Amino acid sequence: MKFYSLNNQNIQASFKDAVIAGIAPDKGLYFPESITPLPTDFFEHIEELSNQEIAFQAIHQFVSEDIPDEALKEIIANTLDFDFPVVDIEENVATLELFHGPTMAFKDVGARFMANCLGYFSQGEKQDVTVLVATSGDTGGAVANGFLGVDGVKVVILYPSGKVSEIQEKQLTTLGQNIEAMEVDGVFDDCQRMVKTAFLDTEITNHKKLTSANSINVARWLPQLFYFLFAYKQAKSKGKEIVFSVPSGNFGNICAGMVAQKLGMPVKHFVASTNVNDVVPKFMTNGVYEPMPSIATISNAMDVGDPSNFVRIRHLYQDDLEKLQESLSSHSFTDEKTKAIMKEVHSRTGYVMDPHGAVGYLGLKEHQKSHPDTYGIFLETAHPVKFLDVVEETLDVSPKIPPQIIKVMDKDKKSHAITTYEELKQHLLNN
Ligand SMILES: *Cc1c(COP(=O)(O)O)cnc(C)c1O
């Protein structure tokens, strides 16, 4: 299987080369040259398969030329050793809890899969790969944890000093080994700019293999299709048409779900739920894609003004808006509405939603107004303790801190404080 650049389909790479490069030489996103549906038998008997068997069959066609079956099984086993429960909230509404992994964010799956692939590809290579990543919060923790102890791979994470939560900072800065945290005196955009500059700096790239670990990378993006299949397996017996609502920022997660649909998963409709960063909801109504500077919200992992993976979704539907509208609708919600629904659902059902999941709930309910006889599943993308301030203030409850979080809170922070790009560059050249 080759992956082509969405800017020019003549530019192609193997899975291995696409993972190591991250982005195509013409700056296009890589996309699989074909998506062959799985046999109908797979979906008819999916409840008889383990999650690892499901994942293996689903990803096999995309990676099999570069990863032999036994190695793939091991990568999957290392990626998926926690639960993905579908929890009923009310009649016809359930949530797929994606926060039972080591950093309690759904990004654990993509980050671990990518880390294990890179680890596999770097076996026997003389030169280490350096993963350079800027984070505003959750990505960094999942990437750091996923890559911890992977041979042949070093990770350098840039985060804005004082702008991530205490839990998130501890998840980035306490691991040690092959993980280094750079604490940047600035905001997230400064971190991102430094990373982009480093990728273009030949004085660095002549000496070092640099790659990124955001959802542009096919090894982080594609495995996210697994948990849509795990949810389908659990919800199938309801005998109703299933709808997924996905709280979306860069649209990698929902796009992976739509790949699962192309693989034959019998789910007709997806809802992309956003906060007030509403570039996609607007596009879905008027066909005009107009990026804008991002607006800060309480669901800050979705504060994205130019979602990088949306081109992949458009491509899946050959850029045909009417066809896309049959499979996808998109709705945007304010912080006020998000807090109000967190309160309402908590007092009515006892369930504590984090602000991202709450946006997903709102989008689902909007869709179900006109499609009442569906079984709706919204994705809970982070554990409520990851957004403790908002949850405590809105619900007046203190969620119990889970053991994976308590463990890091007791450890000591280690970071390199930097202010300028030059300091990052020297660090990369000298280490
Ligand atoms: C990253 C993230 C999202 C957005 O996912 P995309 O794939 O970028 O659309 C939603 N919720 C949480 C908690 C996240 O960390």
DSSP 367-416: HHHH-TTEEEEEEE-B-GGGGHHHHHHHH---PPPPHHHHHHHTSPP--E
Which two structure tokens, joined as six digits, stand for 39?
Answer: 């046999």
Q: Is the CB of 383 under 6 A from ligand 1?
A: no
Burial 361-377 (b: 16+ CB within 10 A, else e): bbbbbbbbeeeeebbbb
Whole-number Å distance between alpha carbons of 113 and 252: 15
Q: What is the mean pLDDT of each run of 10 residues along the chain (431 residues)?
A: 97 96 90 98 98 98 98 97 97 97 93 95 88 86 92 93 87 93 90 88 92 90 98 97 97 98 97 97 97 90 91 97 98 98 98 97 98 97 92 92 87 96 96 85
126 Cβ neighbours under 8 A, 6+ residues apart = none
Would residue 94 count as lying in a domain? yes
Backbone phi, then psi, for 308, in 5-degree steps? -65, -30
In a domain, 151, yes or no: no
Helix (H) or strand (E) holding 90: strand 86-90
> Does residue 345's CB lie within 6 angstroms of at least one atom of ligand 1?
no
| d(CA 247, ligand 1 centre) in Å | 7
Q: Which residues contact 170 (CB under 8 A, 6 or more apart)?
A: 408, 409, 411, 413
To which H or E segment does residue 129 belong? strand 129-134
Ligand 1 centroid to Cα of residue 40, in Å, is 30
Sign of the dihedral through C-alpha 100, 101, 104, 109: negative
The pLDDT, as a whole number, for residue 136 is 77
Q: Is the CB of 384 under 6 A from ligand 1?
A: no
- Helix (H) or strand (E) holding 160, with range, is strand 153-160
Say if ligand 1 is within 6 A of residue 376 CB.
no
Which one-letter amino acid corresponds to residue 102?
Answer: P
CA distance 251 to 274: 10
Q: Is 337 a catalytic residue?
A: no
Tell me phi and psi for residue 126, to 5 degrees: -75, -35
Tell me, yes or no, whether 326 lies in a domain.
yes
Q: Which of 250, 278, 378 to mutate to test the pocket of ligand 1 (most atoms within 8 A of CB)?
A: 250
CATH of the domain at 328: 3.40.50.1100
| Amino acid letter, residue 373 | D
Single out the catalytic residue among 2, 16, 107, 400: 107
At 286 the pLDDT is: 95
Atom of ligand 1 nearest to the CA of 142: 15
Report d(CA 252, CA 135) in Å as an integer. 16
pTM confidence score: 0.94
Q: Which ligand 1 atom minimizes the distance to the CA of 137?
A: 15
- Listed in sequence order, the residues at least 6 apart from 9 whose beta carbon sits closer than 8 Å to its beta carbon are none
- CA-249 nearest atom, ligand 1: 9
In order of 136, 164, 246, 285, 307, the CA distances from 326 in angstroms are 34, 38, 16, 12, 21
Structural domain count, the chain? 1
Ligand 1 atom 11: residue of nearest CA: 381
Is the CB of 107 within 6 Å of ligand 1?
Answer: yes
Task: Compute the CA torsion angle 317, 319, 324, 328 (nearest 10 deg).
Answer: 100
pLDDT at 76: 98
Tell me, using a 6 A CB cutoff, whether residue 214 lines ligand 1.
no
- Indicate which residue's Cα is closest to atom 2 of ligand 1: 301
Whole-number Å distance, alpha carbon 382 to ligand 1 midpoint, is 9
What is the position in ligand 1's atom list of the atom closest to the CA of 224?
7
Residue 13 has a CB neighbour count (10 Å cut-off) of: 18
| CB burial string 52-65: b at 16+ within 10 A, e below | eebbbbbbeebbee
Of all helices (H) and strands (E), which one includes residue 262?
Answer: helix 252-262
Handedness of CA 356, 362, 367, 372 (dihedral sign): positive
Cβ of 141 closer than 6 Å to ligand 1, yes or no, is: no
Q: Flag whether 248 is in a domain.
A: yes
Alpha helices in 7-150 (DSSP H): 15-21, 40-44, 51-63, 69-79, 107-121, 138-147
What is the chain's alpha carbon radius of gyration, rounded to the nearest angstrom?
21
Ligand 1 pocket: which of 225, 248, 353 to mutate (most atoms within 8 A of CB): 248
Q: Is the shortest distance between the CB of 211 and ligand 1 below 6 Å?
A: no
Domain assignment present for 279? yes
Ligand 1 close to Cβ of residue 232 (< 6 A):
no
Output the six-digit token pair for 169.
């900072």
CA distance 184 to 132: 14
Residue with tokens 């700056």: 27
Asked, for residue 89, whether it belongs to a domain, the answer is yes
Domain carrying residue 340: 83-104+221-400
Name the amino acid, one letter, at 332: S
Q: For ligand 1, what atom is nearest to the CA of residue 386?
A: 13
User: Is 64 inside any structural domain?
Assistant: no
| CA–CA distance, 369 with 362 (Å, rounded to integer) | 11
